[in-house]
């Protein structure tokens, strides 16, 4: 007969397999599904969500957890038991009907968001957003909180994180970051980003994007790259990871760095231990740690001079008409231009976290019920002006630019900024561990860094909480200082500071 732990693993793996099917249905919705398939897909995703929830809250699973000790000596067993108990305790508080309702509503909301964004008309999306907010408030209340509903939603994506702690970190970051942005903007020395707004055929962009993704370790035999309205990474197993991007023929960075960003997520998914597939030990720690990998590969590696010392000749040959008169120094300066802008996914490294602080502060008010849906466009525009000094001309470039709210993923946005902070600490630790890393990257050797990340982060699964892992790998708790030091060292030369 199977032991209780073996029975638990069997149940957990079946849940993971169902979630992988759900993930593939959602990926197809965003990439290849014909428009008329929406109604049936909403029903399919609702059924899958209910099935997953039923398995995750089954009395049998609860009985097994009741017989198992989460302090098991084996770290693999201890991790799987602890994390299964955490998700079980959370899930049993939410009725299956509510889970199915959210899945169905969000499917329709995503389609409404895409139409509203295309038409730049928030009113088309507002009723769907209102319904999702009510549903997610109910989820938060059922899970439980100490007066801050946002805590219950944030912990889904960043286990153990508290809203007040995140707000404190963001408040600590906001001052130095805003001051540095001001210093850069006041400098008379600036790169010229206009060279990135020439003509870049989509086919050539796709070829280069695939080359770069493969170079940093994304295995196309275990993954693929497609097009969607909003770029994302969907990993059903380490052997099947789906990336998407979007091509703008008059703006070079969108697809190239968007692909590097999603490939950073992808190499994390592919780097998880396949032996523990569909269990906590074979799953990512948190979305903040996940984001640290996408930001590290996109920016700290992908926008570095050593990276382009290796790849710029190929890039220049691919876009000879547009980059024929552009030197390496001009190109590297252009892709590292700091300019407060409207679109988060196209924001530079320095101002990016201000976009996240904006969303975090608005979401917190929305979930608390202090910000009405009808007032979101005005609140968004006001806060954009306050934080970034620019004003959206329309909803498409303002509150409709991100897909996340249509997915019901409130509490997700803070993980982006946390990911930047984690990434800076990991990046500094990697350079300490690999003294010649800069030279390796310039020579096209990305395997050494990839293996260091795989060993120190990916293969740990969910053994540690995000904060524990950061301290274990870097020797210090989460801090804004490595991130600010990285920004000053990298960007000051471009601006003559």
> Tens of pLDDT along 306-329?
999 999 999 999 999 999 999 999
Query: DSSP characters for 147-182?
Result: S-HHHHHHHHHSTT--HHHHHHHHHHHHHHHHHHHH
Q: So what's the pLDDT on residue 393? A: 97
For residues 157 and 415, what is the distance between their CA atoms, to the nearest angstrom?
A: 7
3-state secondary structure of 225: strand
**Phi and psi, residue 143, nearest 5°:** -65, -40
Task: For 422-431, write each residue's pLDDT tens digit.
Answer: 999 999 999 9
Q: So what's the pLDDT on residue 229? A: 84
Q: Is pLDDT at 72 greater than 80 in this prediction?
A: no
Percent of the chain at pLDDT above 70?
A: 100
Domain with CATH 1.10.1370.30 in the chain: 163-495
Q: Is pLDDT at 274 greater than 90 in this prediction?
A: yes
For residues 76 and 72, what is the distance between their CA atoms, to the nearest angstrom?
A: 9
Length of the chain: 497
For residues 461 and 444, what is the distance between their CA atoms, to the nearest angstrom?
A: 28
Rounded-to-5 percentages of helix, strand, coil across the chain: 70, 5, 25
For residues 100 and 112, what is the distance between their CA atoms, to the nearest angstrom?
A: 19
Q: What's the N-to-C CA distance of the chain in angstroms?
A: 69
Q: Is residue 385 a contact partner of residue 351, using CB atoms and an 8 Å limit? A: no
Mean pLDDT, to the nearest integer, of 263-274? 97
Q: Is pLDDT at 70 greater than 80 in this prediction?
A: no
Q: So what's the pLDDT on residue 381? A: 98
Q: Is residue 444 a contact partner of residue 310, using CB atoms and an 8 Å limit? A: yes
For residues 40 and 27, what is the distance between their CA atoms, to the nearest angstrom?
A: 15
Mean pLDDT, to the nearest integer, of 184-200? 95
Q: So what's the pLDDT on residue 2? A: 78
Mean pLDDT, to the nearest integer, of 440-457? 98
For residues 305 and 317, what is the distance between their CA atoms, to the nearest angstrom?
A: 18
pLDDT band at 129 (very low <50, low <70, confident <90, very high): very high
- The one-character DSSP state at 195 is G
Of 377, 408, 366, 412, nearest in space to 108 by CA: 408
Q: Other C-beta atoms within 10 Å of 118: how many?
A: 12
Concerning whether 262 is annotated as a catalytic residue, the answer is: yes
Q: So what's the pLDDT on residue 69? A: 78
pLDDT band at 1 (very low <50, low <70, confident <90, very high): low
Q: So what's the pLDDT on residue 86? A: 96
For residues 249 and 124, what is the distance between their CA atoms, to the nearest angstrom?
A: 28
Q: So what's the pLDDT on residue 12? A: 97
Q: So what's the pLDDT on residue 159? A: 95
Query: DSSP characters for 386-448?
Result: HHHS---SSSTTTTTS-SGGGGT-TT-THHHHHHHHHHHHHHHHHHHHSTTHHHHHHTT--HH
Q: Which CATH class is domain 163-495?
A: mainly alpha
Q: Is pLDDT at 384 greater than 90 in this prediction?
A: yes
Q: Is residue 172 a contact partner of residue 348, using CB atoms and an 8 Å limit? A: no
Q: So what's the pLDDT on residue 155? A: 96
For residues 85 and 65, what is the distance between their CA atoms, to the nearest angstrom?
A: 7
Q: Which pTM value belongs to this model?
A: 0.93
For residues 398 and 407, what is the distance between their CA atoms, to the nearest angstrom?
A: 17
Q: Is pLDDT at 256 greater than 90 in this prediction?
A: yes
Q: Is pLDDT at 399 greater than 70 in this prediction?
A: yes
Mean pLDDT, to the nearest integer, of 390-394? 96
Q: Is pLDDT at 285 greater than 80 in this prediction?
A: yes
- The one-character DSSP state at 363 is H
pLDDT band at 385 (very low <50, low <70, confident <90, very high): very high
For residues 321 and 278, what is the distance between their CA atoms, to the nearest angstrom?
A: 48
Cα dihedral 353, 357, 362, 365, rounded to 10, equals 150
Mean pLDDT, to the nearest integer, of 115-131? 98
Mean pLDDT, to the nearest integer, of 51-61? 95
Catalytically annotated residue among 262, 291, 298, 361:
262
């Amino acid at each position: 007969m199977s032991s209780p732990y073996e029975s638990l693993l069997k149940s957990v793996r079946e849940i993971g397999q169902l979630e992988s099917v759900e993930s593939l249905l959602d990926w197809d919705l965003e990439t290849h599904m014909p428009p008329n398939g929406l109604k049936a897909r909403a029903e399919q995703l609702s059924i899958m969500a209910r099935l997953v929830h039923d398995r995750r809250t089954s009395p049998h699973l609860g009985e097994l957890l009741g017989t198992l000790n989460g302090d098991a000596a084996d770290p693999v067993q201890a991790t799987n038991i602890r994390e299964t108990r955490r998700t079980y305790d959370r899930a049993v508080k939410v009725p299956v009907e509510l889970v199915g309702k959210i899945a169905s509503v969000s499917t329709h909301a995503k389609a409404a968001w895409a139409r509203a964004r295309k038409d730049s008309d928030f009113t088309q999306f507002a009723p769907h957003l209102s319904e999702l907010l009510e549903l997610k408030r109910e989820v938060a209340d059922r899970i439980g909180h100490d007066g801050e509903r946002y805590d219950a939603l944030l912990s889904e994506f960043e286990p153990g994180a508290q809203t007040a702690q995140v707000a404190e970190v963001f408040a600590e970051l906001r001052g130095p970051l805003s001051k540095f942005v001001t210093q850069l903007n006041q400098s008379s020395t600036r790169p010229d980003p206009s060279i990135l707004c020439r003509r870049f055929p989509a086919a050539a962009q796709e070829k280069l994007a695939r080359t770069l993704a493969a170079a940093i370790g994304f295995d196309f035999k275990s993954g693929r790259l497609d097009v969607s309205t909003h770029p994302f990474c969907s990993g059903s197993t380490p052997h099947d990871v789906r990336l998407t991007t979007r091509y703008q023929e008059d703006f070079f960075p969108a697809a190239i760095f968007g692909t590097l960003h999603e490939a950073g997520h992808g190499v994390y998914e592919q780097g998880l231990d396949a032996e523990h597939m569909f269990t906590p030990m074979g799953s990512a720690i948190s979305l903040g740690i996940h984001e640290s990998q996408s930001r590290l590969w996109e920016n700290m590696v992908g926008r570095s001079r050593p990276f382009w010392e290796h790849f710029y000749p190929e890039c220049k040959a691919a876009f000879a008409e547009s980059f024929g008169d552009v030197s390496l120094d001009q190109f590297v300066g252009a892709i590292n231009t700091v300019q407060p802008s409207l679109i988060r996914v196209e924001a530079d490294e320095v101002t990016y976290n201000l976009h996240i602080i904006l969303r975090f502060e608005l979401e917190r008010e929305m979930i608390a019920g202090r910000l009405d849906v009808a007032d979101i466009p005005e609140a968004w525009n006001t806060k954009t002006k306050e934080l970034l000094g620019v004003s959206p001309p329309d909803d498409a470039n303002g509150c409709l630019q991100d897909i996340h709210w249509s997915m019901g993923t409130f509490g997700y946005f803070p993980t982006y900024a946390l990911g930047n902070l984690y990434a800076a600490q990991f990046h500094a630790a990697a350079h300490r561990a690999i003294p010649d890393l800069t030279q390796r990257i310039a020579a096209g050797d990305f395997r050494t860094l990839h293996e260091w990340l795989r060993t120190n982060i990916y293969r740990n699964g969910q053994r540690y909480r995000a904060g524990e892992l950061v301290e274990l790998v870097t020797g210090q708790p989460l801090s804004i200082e490595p991130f600010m030091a990285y920004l000053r060292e990298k960007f000051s030369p471009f601006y003559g500071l």
